[in-house]
Structure 1
Amino acid sequence: MMPRKPLLILLLIMAGLTASAQKRVMLWFDAHANYKRLSSADSIRFYLEKSKQAGVTDIVVDVKPITGFVLWKSKYAPYLGEWQGHKMPQDLNFLQTFIDEGHKFGLTVHASINVFSGGHNHFNKGIIYGQYPEWQSINYLDTGLTKISAIKSKYSGMLNPANPEVQKYQLNLLKELIKQHPGLDGVILDRVRYDGFESDFSNVSRKLFEKYIGKKVANFPADVYSYTKKDGKPVKTPGPLYKQWIEWRASVIYNFFVDARKTAKKANKKIIFGDYTGAWYPTYYEVGVNWASNKFEVAREYSWATPKYQQYGYAELLDLYTTGCYYYEVSKEEVHQSNTYRAARTEAGMSTQRSPVYSVEGSAERAMELTKGAAPLLGGLYVEQYEKNKDQFIKAMQMCMDKTNGLMIFDLVHIVQRNWWDAIQQVTGK
């Protein structure tokens, strides 16, 4: 008979290995960046096999990139049949090929849609440049109200999330996508947010906000905020309705998630309903999003939040959540050791502040705290941030695996360009 202590140790080791094996390793396939690469069934099959060999368990196929064009035959949205001079073969059923071939390799296949994005401003392409220019975000800059299509410093031509017509359109697309692909395992919503704190200040938003607060806004948008000069630069100065505006925008996104979940589950009750956001929660209110659990008392920690803001935490609405721990610094200690941040912080709502939470470790831990186990959480990494430092990338992947329920890697194109499949294998043990 085996002594009790060695048996207990063996059981603990086996349990640890099982838990590690159960963690998802997700690889994202961006539509624009990989358009030519993924325009044949053979190529799709090749990269799925590479993914499986590297220890990837889940893949995310971007089928509605930021232009608002889609990669399935839709009666609502235009088809992305060409990108940068390359055409998609007419006989290729793009997503269905991923589903069929992915399942052969035992991969879980999710489709990603960029919900409230409708244009690529660097190419002047998208639905805001075509059939729906009136849906684009109106941003309140220090120079005045400006259509987002005119702000070329922004590559993503965002829509107004509060617009009921926009919401109905996106829900129709979500339903259509799932219905057309009954073998699809999951959907991951991306860009379910505002462009930034400067959006949206259209007349549609004004009327909806007035309805929410139950009164007319005397001075719009100045009662939300105005611009004043500080050291010669324009600075936002909060107005009397500043906090209510933040609360209302979070309610818009929350209520959309309620409707999106109902729509997805009605189309396929087994579908995995997922979401991606950035991990920088302290400033994510700037894009109108409260991705925390509704049990997290936001107003106790953050001065910009009303007590009601807590109600619009939507983590409980998700079956799967992945958050971008998009920092070069892996450990919390590295934040204090480095003199400058190695990776530029250019994502929407991202802070330039120096803090342990702005590391892979710190952001992963904080995300787990905020979501309170409402849904499995995968720590996400942006491969490009690690430049040529494979060891740092490996450390970052391992940190996500250790601190969250798994790992999300963005994107395939960067793994291929660097040939870093072996780096993934080091973490997955394949």
Structure 2
Amino acid sequence: MASHFFVGNANILWVDFLANGRRLSDENQQVQLLQHAVEANIDYLIIDAKVPYGQTTYPSRYGHHISRWSSGRFDAWKGRDFLKEFLSKAESFPINILANVNVFSEGYSKTSDGLVYEQDWKVTFYHEALSKESNAAEYLDAETIFVNPIHPEVIEHELNILKELHQYDLDGVVLDRCRYPNVFGDFSELSRSQFEVYIGEPIKHWPNDIMEVDEHKEVVFNKWFPKWAEFRAHNIKQFVQDASKVTKERFPIFADYVGSWYPLYYNEGVNWASETYQPDLSWTSKEFHKTGLAETLDFLMTGCYYPDVLIEEAKQSEKPADWYSVEGAIEKSLEVINGGTPFVASLFLKNYRGHPETFIDAVRLCKERSDGVMLFDTVYLEEYHWWDLLKKELSSST
């Protein structure tokens, strides 16, 4: 393992445990993955320490182990520690290993798995029927259950998970789902009381003075929405700052993953911009820029998750904005991050299924315009048999 601070022109590969965990229960497959990654000139592998439904891939004092999944999907991992196993094998390879922690997601509604069923932490939605609406950062059929990011017990729990990782010889930590679920959560009494303290006065008509939902399920921003967006972004930044302190006590690298669709990021309640970036959007306040968290990170990955690679292609496809393309998303990310931290453009490989040439064009563009490329996910390299294709491209661009 080659520990060092983050450097540019990085090739990063994500290994989602939900997609790869059963295959990687065979330790020979773990070695094979490392061999493939090194041969393809991957610099960083991101492996899950905590999956999107809250379970940990290592024995935790605080969370449920992945083998407790009621469906039996990961029974092969009973009594095992994925982080320990994988890191022991990675020692023989010149590659960096980062652990991903899915932060504010703690349950899976289809099987009622997760801590959210044991704790009173769940997000309170504006209206429960709207809970899955307008959630650009999740798949449409996602069953992820989020918890309130300002609940004191939630904050303590998530920081304890990060502290537990200190026992492992990692190169760093990546945060994912460090956000609100969507624009409709959280509207609990806790959030209301803290927001009123934040603005220094009571809300007369809760929650209508913040926003309403029309007959088409469209959100209508009212008087307090810009300050509400600022408040939510402030809450996330505060947690990220605390998480950074915990991480940097042990590891050299602290990073985050977000979606690239900044103009719509009121949904997620995160301001991943630089503090120097002053947005001019209908939902941002004059003080919104102070909630920018880019400077807290060693690098930031934004999901440029679009099948159209070039802006011109997005226009031909009649997309509503340039940033609905890889090129446009990179441009928007560069504008917003404004040099606050290194930025790595990220690709969703499923967008290029059956189109390997388009995939390579997208990789090339990310490498040319950002500080590297992040590929999500390993399972698609396996399924599409793209390892050799990737090796050829990344070898020529090194």
Shared fold, TM over 0.5: yes
Alignment deviations for residues 322-360 of structure 1 (CA, whole Å, 9 cap, x no partner)? 110000000111112235xxxxxxxxxxxxx52222210
| Counterpart residue number, 2:174 | 188
| Counterpart residue number, 2:100 | 112
| Counterpart residue number, 1:387 | 353
Following superposition, the deviation at residue 78 of structure 1 comes to: 1.2
| Residue range with higher mean Cα deviation, 365-374 or 30-39 | 365-374
1:402, 1:135 → 2: CA distance? Answer: 43
Change (3 A) 1:377 1:186: same
Please point out which of 116, 138, 162 is paired with 1:128: 116
| Counterpart residue number, 1:319 | 298
Following superposition, the deviation at residue 238 of structure 1 comes to: 2.3
Change (3 A) 1:128 1:423: same
User: TM-score with structure 1 length normalisation?
Assistant: 0.84
| Residue range with higher mean Cα deviation, 407-416 or 84-93 | 84-93
| Counterpart residue number, 1:52 | 38
SS at match of 1:234: coil
Following superposition, the deviation at residue 420 of structure 1 comes to: 0.9
1:37, 1:276 → 2: CA distance? Answer: 25
Following superposition, the deviation at residue 316 of structure 1 comes to: 0.3
1:143, 1:189 → 2: CA distance? Answer: 28
Q: Is the 8 A contact 1:295 1:310 kept in 2?
A: yes
Please point out which of 273, 285, 288 is paired with 1:309: 288
1:373, 1:287 → 2: CA distance? Answer: 22
1:386, 1:25 → 2: CA distance? Answer: 18
| Counterpart residue number, 1:217 | 203
Q: Is the 8 A contact 2:310 2:325 kept in 1?
A: yes
SS at match of 1:424: helix
1:193, 1:236 → 2: CA distance? Answer: 19
| Counterpart residue number, 2:148 | 160
Q: Is the 8 A contact 2:107 2:146 kept in 1?
A: yes
Change (3 A) 1:227 1:369: closer
Change (3 A) 1:117 1:280: same
Following superposition, the deviation at residue 103 of structure 1 comes to: 3.3
Unaligned runs of 5+ in 2: 1-6, 133-139
Following superposition, the deviation at residue 153 of structure 1 comes to: 5.0
2:90, 2:126 → 1: CA distance? Answer: 44
1:49-128 correspondence runs (5 A): 49-83=35-69, 84-85=71-72, 86-90=74-78, 92-128=80-116
| Counterpart residue number, 1:173 | 161
Unaligned runs of 5+ in 1: 1-20, 147-151, 340-352
Q: Is the 8 A contact 1:121 1:154 kept in 2?
A: no
| Counterpart residue number, 2:219 | 236
| Counterpart residue number, 1:35 | 21
Following superposition, the deviation at residue 141 of structure 1 comes to: 3.0
> How many pairs align?
381
1:256 aligns with 2:242: no
Change (3 A) 1:46 1:144: closer
Change (3 A) 1:309 1:27: same
User: TM-score with structure 2 length normalisation?
Assistant: 0.91
Q: Is the 8 A contact 1:224 1:241 kept in 2?
A: yes
Please give the root-mean-square deviation of Cα atoms over the aligned residues, in Å. Answer: 2.0
2:141, 2:338 → 1: CA distance? Answer: 36
Please point out which of 251, 254, 259 is paired with 1:273: 254
Which amino acid is the alignment partner of residue 317 of structure 1?
Answer: T
Following superposition, the deviation at residue 239 of structure 1 comes to: 2.5
| Counterpart residue number, 1:9 | none
Which amino acid is the alignment partner of residue 292 of structure 2?
Answer: G
| Greater Cα radius of gyration, structure 1 or 2 | 1
Change (3 A) 1:228 1:355: closer
SS at match of 1:138: coil
Pick 1 or 2: higher relative contact order, CA cutoff 8 A, min separation 6. Answer: 2
Q: Is the 8 A contact 1:40 1:89 kept in 2?
A: no
Following superposition, the deviation at residue 166 of structure 1 comes to: 0.7
1:265, 1:58 → 2: CA distance? Answer: 18
| Counterpart residue number, 2:385 | 419
